[in-house]
A and B are shown apart, each in its own frame.
Chain A
Amino acid sequence: MAKNHVTTTINGEPVEFLCETQQTLLDVLRDELQLTGSKEGCASGDCGACSVMVDDRLVCSCLVMGVEAEGSSIETIEGMADGENLHPLQQKFLENAALQCGICTPGFLIAAKSLLEKNPDPTETEVRYWLAGNLCRCTGYDKIIRSVLEVAAEAKGA
């Protein structure tokens, strides 16, 4: 089967890749481009571990086909920090022990960042519902939710 040639922008860099028609964007990121920060927890859109931004929309990359990424701009966890400088959400997660095993963390960070871009001052309930598509089995969510609320509050204060 001939592979498909796809042209995209990933984390601000132009990236071309070849993929098989049945490969998901998550497969491509992990297996073809070695961007393994996006995780596969279910491959069915239920866990959010594979969350990425495609043209500023939060998506489960396990539900997007690789070929669908043609012409789009993709942001993954690997592009979240600005060089050595962690994004405030990344820093806050570390300070607040908002991760235990850390497998869900990339997905939560991407999803939380997209929330704060849309809604810089969310209520606790809004954060909980926005992040309801991301599963975490370790933390009980408490420290994750607090971290997002604190980052929002600090941005407002700044």
Chain B
Amino acid sequence: MSGNANGYKWIGTRTIRPDGVDKVTGRAAFGADFALPGMLVGKILRSPHAHARILSIDSSKAEALPGVKAIVTSADFPEIPPSEAIKGSSPPNYRHLSQNLMAREKVLYDGHAVAAVAATSAAVASEALSLISVEYEVLPHVTDVLEAMKPDAPVLHDDLFTGGVEPKPDKPSNVAKRVEFAIGDIDAGFADADVVVERDYSTEGIHQGYIETHAVVANMGEDGQATIWCSSQGHFMVRQYTAGLLNMNIGDIKVTPAEIGGGFGGKTTVYLEPVALLLSRKSGHAIKMVMTRDEVFRATGPTSGSAMTIKIGAKKDGKITAAEADLKFFAGAFPGAPVHLGCMCGFTPYDIENVKAVGFDVVTNRPKAISYRAPGAPIAAFAIESAIDELAGKLNIEPLALREMNAAREGTRTAYGPTLGVVGFEETLEAAKTHPHFSEPLGPDQGRGIASGYWFNVGGESSASVSVNEDGSVTVTSGAPDIGGSRASLCIMAAEVFGIDIGEVRAVIGDTNATAFNRHTGGSRVTFALGMVVVNAAEDCIVQLRTAAAKIWDIDVEAVVWEEGEARPAGDNAGKFEPLSLGDLAAKTPMTGGPISSEKSSNVQGPGPAFGTHICDVEVDRETGHVKILRYTAIQDAGRAIHPGYVEGQMQGGVAQGIGWALNEEYIYGDDGRLQNPGFLDYRIPVASDLPMIDTVIVEVPNPTHPYGVRGVGEIPIIPPMAAVANAIEDAVGMRLTDLPMSPPKVLEALENGG
């Protein structure tokens, strides 16, 4: 399995992941698989109302139930004043986080936590919840983003004043923030255009849909030292947020990561951990909490829905002269919609002189939105890539050709500031054009759509250690959870640096005491950023190994080279010595200066931005409105694919999620503000029979800042699909659908209104 065309021994090979066997035999321990003797079961009481004032909570009957050991409400959590909402320089807003964890004066959405109990069994805990009586004064609610922006809308927070506008408003509203990114002169750009398209689009709130629900075991020791076992996208994040919410010292909490059963951005915050810890402190027992699927839908995730207007103008020859976006995203009950990211990413695939993107972050009576793969970018791309397609139609230019004419490349200035370095967008377009899929003939009611997407990718704080064990095997310890095979890619990179067999390298995820701080796994950062730290640490080990060999041979360290997993004299002048392998040197460390290891921490910069281009074929059933995906090809610049199997997997998984977003998935609220589809039966994610094989093409335009050229790969694939599907439907039946999801009733209605 070693040796390949790119000149590397391991980079780019399909090795078997180190954690694989445990995962196919059922032995891997995920969040809910951990248990401690004597632990209690914790459960949460949730609001049935979308918006209500809590008048009183009476838990006396529940407390009297045999087997109930502790009950907590918001009164048990420290109240975080506005002045302490932001600790340090960056989010989260701890005041909002605390209010989301356990409602204070008001409940703000159906599913908002109100109280929690710990009991000796799940049955007792459930019964106790039913014995807690909460008196509510129901308030008017709002779940729609445009409704929430109206002057007479019910206001969720009376201390929320729109940021980013001058003068500062004197009345609170649901608009948390306005952002704007602009370059050039937008009016002049449109004046210059021969053709202009302008249209409104909307998307619904959707959930990340990870199959593993949130789960935790927490134990508060007598000495105030806490231990938490849970699955998350960042155990350092869990530690930091839990400490911040409970006013504890970070050093008093240890978090051990479980295997994580999917996150996609949805596990980058805490819902259960501080609650479980408080129940543990109150009851004196370890607490286990596992969310039901209903709770996951009602109280975690989702990503924003939106209302958008896109306007693009171009010359007759296809040169785009101006592009304008107005994006309104709802954030759920607390501010934080990723609308600025939508504004940043949406037009970046194109080199446009005059751009203006304005975004609004709007609160509504829905669960607090959290990241979902490339947060914000897919929403904006649905609208913008649909508009590009429409523009191509009006100009009578083939849509891929229009993208080529305007494609961003090295030196293109983005609307949000940076100028692009080496990027591979044109290469993805070229690969699309030459792919057999692009020219395959289509049948009646079938259509083909193209769409592209951009994500800047993320680096960030990363720590890892590499140690050479006594037998010459190598252990890589990192502190970022592995959600999709990152242990495999870290092993590959370490094996490449050392020049040893992949079987000699183990990658483990350490707990919060095992490594220094790591930012959570997200934004497609781990293979890039952790990879860089691991490569640095491994290179440092090699310097130590060369030094050890130099000592043994009694020559200068400069006269020792490291090649193919062994120390060799650097040419004849250095002297004649038998090479020393990693195993030889590891066995001699007591004589050569001690163990060989290196720990590195760094705030990694220079993640390579990346682009993808997708081709989608659909068939529209004119009788039912059902849209069938016939064929799908995803093309993406990965910089360098460390493990192509997992890169393809990221692409295929992102596409499947995007197809669900395009065709099926949506949060459905009743007039009463209650979520009507909090289960997998009614919130239908794509199943195997909904999809074809998903073809992938990995384009490699190496990222110059990474030793192997890695760019993040996890975010891009969910950005183009919604527009690719919409553009394909337009091609099939001549109708442009502008509201997601494009479910059968909507397609049918559009067909009836003149397809």
Which residues of A are at the interface with B, using a C-beta cutoff of 8 A? 20, 22, 30, 34-44, 46-47, 49, 76-78, 80-81, 86, 90, 93-97, 99-106, 109, 124-125, 127-129, 131-146
CB distance from A29 to the nearest CB of B (A): 10
CB distance from B87 to the nearest CB of A (A): 31
CB distance from A89 to the nearest CB of B (A): 8
| CB-contact partner of B679 in A30, A44, A103, A132, under 8 A | A44
B680 touches A44 (CB 8 A): yes
Contacts of A104 on B, CB cut-off 8 Å?
211, 261
Contacts of A140 on B, CB cut-off 8 Å?
649, 652-657, 691, 694
Contacts of A136 on B, CB cut-off 8 Å?
211, 688
The answer for the CA separation of A45 and B189 in the assembled complex, in Å, is 55
The answer for the CA separation of A44 and B681 in the assembled complex, in Å, is 9
Question: A44-B681, A100-B646 known; A137 and B688 CB under 8 Å?
Answer: no
Q: Is B33 an interface residue (CB 8 A)?
A: yes
Contacts of B209 on A, CB cut-off 8 Å?
137
Q: Which residue of A lies closest to B290 (CB)?
A: A40
A132 touches B689 (CB 8 A): yes
B24 touches A93 (CB 8 A): yes
B687 touches A135 (CB 8 A): yes
Q: Is B700 an interface residue (CB 8 A)?
A: no
Contacts of B210 on A, CB cut-off 8 Å?
101, 103, 137
Is the contact region of chain B dominated by helix, strand, or loop, or is it mixed? loop
Q: Is B292 an interface residue (CB 8 A)?
A: yes
The answer for the CA separation of A103 and B26 in the assembled complex, in Å, is 9
Q: Is B179 an interface residue (CB 8 A)?
A: no
What are 29 pairs between A and B in contact, CB < 8 Å?
A: A20-B121, A35-B26, A37-B27, A39-B32, A40-B213, A44-B679, A46-B681, A47-B293, A49-B211, A77-B25, A86-B24, A93-B24, A94-B21, A97-B17, A99-B24, A100-B485, A101-B484, A103-B210, A132-B690, A135-B680, A137-B208, A137-B209, A138-B484, A139-B652, A139-B656, A140-B656, A142-B691, A144-B688, A145-B688
| CB-contact partner of A132 in B24, B26, B688, under 8 A | B688
B26 touches A36 (CB 8 A): yes
For the complex of A and B, the 9 pairs showing the least CB-CB separation, nearest first, are: A37-B26, A103-B261, A97-B645, A140-B652, A102-B23, A140-B656, A77-B26, A46-B680, A36-B33
B211 touches A41 (CB 8 A): yes
Contacts of A40 on B, CB cut-off 8 Å?
32, 213, 290
Q: Is B153 an interface residue (CB 8 A)?
A: no
Contacts of B690 on A, CB cut-off 8 Å?
132
Question: A100-B653, A139-B649 known; A47 and B680 CB under 8 Å?
Answer: yes
CB distance from A106 to the nearest CB of B (A): 5
A42 touches B679 (CB 8 A): yes
The answer for the CA separation of A36 and B657 in the assembled complex, in Å, is 27
A97 touches B26 (CB 8 A): no
Contacts of B212 on A, CB cut-off 8 Å?
39, 41, 101, 103
Q: Is B28 an interface residue (CB 8 A)?
A: yes
Which residues of B are at the interface with A, using a C-beta cutoff of 8 A? 14, 16-17, 19-21, 23-30, 32-33, 35, 121, 123, 208-213, 259-264, 290, 292-293, 483-485, 643, 645-646, 648-650, 652-657, 679-681, 685, 687-691, 693-694
B211 touches A103 (CB 8 A): yes
Contacts of B14 on A, CB cut-off 8 Å?
95, 97
Q: Which residue of A lies closest to B215 (CB)?
A: A40
Contacts of B645 on A, CB cut-off 8 Å?
96-97, 143
| CB-contact partner of B261 in A102, A141, A146, under 8 A | A102
CB distance from A49 to the nearest CB of B (A): 6
Given contacts A77-B25, A97-B643, A132-B687, 9 further A-B contacts (CB under 8 A): A20-B121, A90-B25, A97-B648, A102-B28, A105-B23, A131-B688, A142-B648, A143-B649, A144-B688
Contacts of A76 on B, CB cut-off 8 Å?
26
B17 touches A94 (CB 8 A): yes
Q: Which residue of A lies closest to B646 (CB)?
A: A97
Q: Which residue of A lies closest to B659 (CB)?
A: A140
Question: A94-B20, A95-B16, A145-B693 known; A41 and B213 CB under 8 Å?
Answer: yes
Contacts of A90 on B, CB cut-off 8 Å?
24-25
CB distance from B559 to the nearest CB of A (A): 43
B261 touches A36 (CB 8 A): no
Contacts of B29 on A, CB cut-off 8 Å?
36
Contacts of A37 on B, CB cut-off 8 Å?
25-27
Contacts of A20 on B, CB cut-off 8 Å?
121, 123
Contacts of B261 on A, CB cut-off 8 Å?
39, 101-104
A101, A109, A129, A134, most chain B CB atoms within 10 A: A101
B30, B655, B688, B689, most chain A CB atoms within 10 A: B688
Contacts of A81 on B, CB cut-off 8 Å?
25
The answer for the CA separation of A125 and B652 in the assembled complex, in Å, is 18
The answer for the CA separation of A42 and B652 in the assembled complex, in Å, is 24
| CB-contact partner of A42 in B293, B655, B689, under 8 A | B293
CB distance from A7 to the nearest CB of B (A): 23
| CB-contact partner of B689 in A103, A106, A128, under 8 A | A128
Question: A20-B123, A22-B123, A37-B26 known; A97 and B211 CB under 8 Å?
Answer: no
The answer for the CA separation of A13 and B32 in the assembled complex, in Å, is 25
CB distance from A31 to the nearest CB of B (A): 8
The answer for the CA separation of A77 and B333 in the assembled complex, in Å, is 41
Contacts of B23 on A, CB cut-off 8 Å?
99, 102, 105
The answer for the CA separation of A106 and B23 in the assembled complex, in Å, is 8
Contacts of B688 on A, CB cut-off 8 Å?
127-129, 131-132, 134, 136, 141, 144-145
Q: Which residue of A lies closest to B1 (CB)?
A: A95
